């Protein structure tokens, strides 16, 4: 689809001209422009505009040689994807750091897809989901009769990932005994199955991920320092969604299409009020939570639009201070959404900026960073105080 399809819609040319005039000299981004276009053309055009957003993102990602699942690769994840390109073919261990739901597995798969091991397997192991007594057997395999219930020889994850990539998610949950064996594999590429005597050699690239502060865990004695040095050769930190507001239109469109396909519903594009709500929400569950909210909004919708306000009302951390204020205000740019987000936090904290009960703490921002944003948005004033 291209812009000519939009021109065929009744009033399409007129709306394009009006919107272009409105946006002249503004900082309205492409996704915001398309959202406003869909709103001005009415419900009949929104499906076409949603397709245009999705196709635009897919084209950009293909042109950059990126995995199609990585929405925001040229915006909020620009630095992350630059790091992926740097290290993908180096075959060094990589540690992906980020809060729950930020897309660590997606980045791990992108690393594998652009590495020299792309034709080999990539296997994911959730270290936090395996009982401690079974960790060794799961990672390294076992011989028949090595313990009660071992009725046959079984290959572990390292053997099955030979020639490819092993992704150890939540690596900080590994017990110390398993950390010793993991360190040996990383040092010399060999290990023994549980109950075995023969050393086995494997060629595996390790990509690990954690939502913990592993440095602090090392200081607390819960993670081996020598293993930390081994797995953190090339750390890649992932930003939380609240620091990627520019990606929300593309992500929301992506998840709207996915929800429509999964649920057998007509695709519906989030409108400007929806995007304002999404941008103003704190997203403690990050991208995973956004996907869930969009799917819930699709289910709650009346067939003509998403019910984002109701979907967010289940868990909005700012409660009633947020939704009515943002929903009743048109979104002219994401700067407005960010301003609403910060104002809602400041009002919730009674104007306090710093301290344990201040807006900076609530938004998980450095107070200096928050004040800088407030100055840019014209929010710096006497009614906001440092804290108690």
Domain termination site, one of 188, 217, 237:
237
Tell me whether residue 57 is in a domain.
Answer: yes
pTM for the full predicted model: 0.65
Question: What integer pLDDT is reported at residue 43 of this predicted model?
Answer: 53
With a CB cutoff of 8 Å and minimum separation 6, the contacts of 276 are 326, 327, 329, 331, 336, 337, 340
Q: How far is C-alpha 153 from the chain's CA centre?
A: 38
How many domains would you assign to the chain? 2
Tell me whether residue 368 is in a domain.
Answer: no
With a CB cutoff of 8 Å and minimum separation 6, the contacts of 387 are 352, 353, 354, 355, 357, 358
Q: How far is C-alpha 300 from the chain's CA centre?
A: 24
Tell me whether residue 119 is in a domain.
Answer: yes
Co-location of 103 and 41 in the same domain: no
Angstrom distance (rounded) from CA 276 to CA 49: 18
**Rg of the Cα trace of the chain?**
24
Tell me whether residue 143 is in a domain.
Answer: yes
More confident residue, 231 or 191: 231
pLDDT above 70: percentage of residues in the chain: 68
pLDDT in tens, 192-220: 888 777 888 999 999 999 999 999 999 99
Q: Which domain holds residue 219?
A: 78-237
Structure tokens at 341: 């987000």
pLDDT in tens, 360-369: 776 667 787 7
CATH value at residue 48 = 1.10.8.60
With a CB cutoff of 8 Å and minimum separation 6, the contacts of 359 are 342, 345, 346, 348, 349, 352, 353, 370
Nearest 10 degrees: Cα torsion 312, 314, 316, 319: 120
Co-location of 149 and 180 in the same domain: yes
Does residue 77 have a pLDDT over 60? yes
């Amino acid at each position: 689809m291209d812009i000519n399809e939009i021109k065929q819609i009744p009033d399409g040319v007129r709306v394009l001209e009006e919107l272009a005039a409105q946006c002249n000299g503004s900082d309205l981004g492409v996704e915001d422009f398309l959202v406003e276009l869909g709103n001005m053309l009415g419900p009949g055009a929104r499906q076409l505009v949603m397709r245009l957003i999705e196709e635009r993102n897919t084209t950009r990602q293909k042109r950059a040689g990126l995995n199609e699942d990585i929405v925001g690769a040229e915006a909020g994840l620009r630095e992350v994807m630059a790091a992926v390109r740097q290290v993908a073919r180096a075959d060094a261990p990589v540690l992906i750091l980020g809060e729950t739901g930020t897309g660590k597995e997606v980045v791990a798969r992108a690393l594998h897809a652009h590495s020299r091991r792309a034709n080999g397997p990539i296997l994911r192991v959730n270290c936090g989901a395996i009982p401690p007594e079974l960790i060794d057997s799961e990672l390294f395999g076992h011989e028949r009769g090595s313990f009660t219930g071992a009725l046959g020889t079984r290959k572990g994850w390292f053997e099955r990932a030979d020639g490819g990539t092993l992704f150890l998610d939540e690596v900080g949950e590994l017990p110390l005994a398993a950390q010793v064996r993991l360190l040996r594999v990383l040092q010399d590429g060999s290990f023994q199955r549980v109950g075995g005597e023969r050393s086995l050699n494997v060629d595996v690239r390790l990509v690990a991920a954690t939502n913990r502060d592993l440095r602090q865990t090392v200081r607390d004695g819960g993670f081996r320092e020598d293993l930390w040095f081994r797995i953190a050769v090339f750390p890649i930190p992932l930003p939380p969604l609240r620091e990627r507001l520019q990606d929300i239109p593309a992500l929301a469109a992506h998840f709207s299409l996915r929800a429509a396909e999964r649920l057998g519903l007509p695709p519906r594009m989030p409108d400007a009020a929806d995007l304002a709500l999404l941008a103003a929400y704190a997203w403690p569950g990050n991208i995973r939570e956004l996907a869930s909210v969009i799917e819930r909004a699709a289910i709650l919708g009346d067939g003509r639009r998403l019910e984002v306000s109701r979907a967010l009302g289940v868990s909005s951390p700012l409660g009633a201070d947020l939704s009515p204020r943002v929903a009743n205000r048109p979104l002219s740019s994401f700067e407005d959404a960010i301003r609403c987000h910060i104002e809602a936090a400041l009002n919730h904290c009674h104007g306090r900026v710093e301290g344990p009960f201040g807006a900076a703490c609530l938004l998980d921002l450095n107070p200096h960073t928050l004040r800088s944003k407030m100055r840019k948005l014209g929010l710096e004033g006497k009614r906001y105080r440092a804290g108690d």
